[in-house]
Amino acid sequence: MVYFQWNPTLSVGNTLIDSDHQNLINIVNELYTAADLKQDCDILEDILQRLFDYTSEHFEREEEMMKLTGYPGFENHKKQHKKLLERVVRLQASLAEKREYVAKETAELLKFWLTSHIYMADKELAIAIQKSDASPQ
């Protein structure tokens, strides 16, 4: 059974953002599964680092779209991104001590955060992008 399932209600209607979100969900699932199987700490650290890197890249893409479109919620949206990345860094630091617990906690955090962020922030952003001339789909 898949831990975090992509579904059409998570779509923001922007191909690039939706693709990023699907990839993030896949990595969250990989992290959760590895933790559930009590994989070696090195494997968990690698997955968590890939998740952090991909999330950072996704946030950069979203923030660039916000700048291009003059998105009015840019500063608040960017703060949400920054807070999540800071939290993931703290979880990475504690992974060595509490392996699967921290990995599962991180997967659970990201599942909740990503779902609520898509519904409350990214859908609004996608509407603004669609209304602008700078609509990378």
Q: Can you tell me the mean pLDDT for 49-72?
A: 95
Instruction: Report the alpha-carbon distance of residue 126 to residue 11 in Å, rounded.
Output: 10
Number of folded domains that form the chain: 1
pTM for this entry: 0.83
Q: Domain span at residue 50?
A: 11-130
Is residue 118 a part of any domain in this protein?
A: yes
pLDDT, tens digit, for every residue of 7-26?
Answer: 999 999 999 999 999 999 99
Q: How far apart are CA 134 and CA 121, in angstroms?
A: 18
Contact between residue 31 and residue 111 where contact means Cβ atoms under 8 Å apart:
no
CATH number at residue 112: 1.20.120.50
The residue written with tokens 């991180």 in the block is: 106
Q: Is residue 79 part of a domain?
A: yes
pLDDT digits (tens, 9 = 90+) for 74-128: 999 999 999 999 988 888 888 766 655 677 788 888 899 889 988 888 988 888 8
Has residue 19 been placed in a domain? yes
Asked whether the predicted pLDDT for residue 135 surpasses 60, the reply is no
User: What pLDDT is attached to residue 53?
Assistant: 97
User: Is residue 97 included in any domain, yes or no?
Assistant: yes
Residue 120 covered by a domain = yes
Q: Is residue 5 part of a domain?
A: no
* 62 belongs to a structural domain: yes
